[in-house]
């Protein structure tokens, strides 16, 4: 099963993205808790994480390095409109997969669907490469 988690303190944003991805055929978990997000990543229940800029009063820039240490193959998609450029740069250096704006318009919704598909494809390629025989 694909572990797809939406972690955001904004209830409406979580619901909107969950509905969008469920309509696209994905099984989705949601949380507003940094602890639950970390727990899901540690247990390898989450392979793709869509997150806002803050969880439990913790800045996502502080969470990304921790999450990547828990699972270096975790695909993190930052979904935020209000993130300052220095924060986005720092998170890119820490290894986020993508930064998207909140999907308010139809184009934004399609962007979220496409980036999740791209992350899934990237995970599949990584899995295939790690299972290839060594010559």
Q: What is the mean pLDDT of the chain?
A: 89
CATH superfamily of 4-129: Response regulator (3.40.50.2300)
| Domain edges within the chain | 4-129
- Alpha carbon distances (Å) from 41 to 4, 22, 47, 56, 76: 10, 20, 7, 17, 11
Mean pLDDT confidence for 18-46: 94
* Complete edge-to-edge strand list for the sheet that includes strand 75-79: 28-31, 4-7, 48-51, 75-79, 98-100
Mean pLDDT confidence for 13-34: 94
Locate all alpha helices (DSSP H) within 71-105, ordered by sequence.
85-94
Is the per-residue pLDDT at 131 higher than 70? no
Q: For position 135, what pLDDT does the model report?
A: 42
């Amino acid at each position: 099963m694909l572990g797809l988690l939406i972690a955001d303190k904004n209830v409406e944003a979580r619901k909107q993205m969950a509905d969008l991805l469920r309509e696209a055929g994905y099984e989705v978990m949601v949380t507003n808790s940094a602890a639950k997000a970390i727990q899901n990543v540690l247990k390898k229940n989450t392979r793709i994480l869509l997150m806002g800029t803050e969880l439990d009063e913790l800045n996502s820039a502080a969470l990304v390095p921790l999450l990547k240490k828990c699972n270096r193959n975790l695909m993190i998609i930052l979904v935020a409109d209000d993130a300052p450029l220095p924060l986005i740069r720092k998170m890119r250096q820490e290894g986020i997969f993508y930064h998207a704006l909140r999907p308010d318009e139809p184009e934004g919704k399609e962007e979220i669907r496409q980036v999740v598909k791209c992350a899934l494809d990237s995970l599949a390629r990584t899995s295939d490469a790690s299972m290839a025989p060594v010559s």
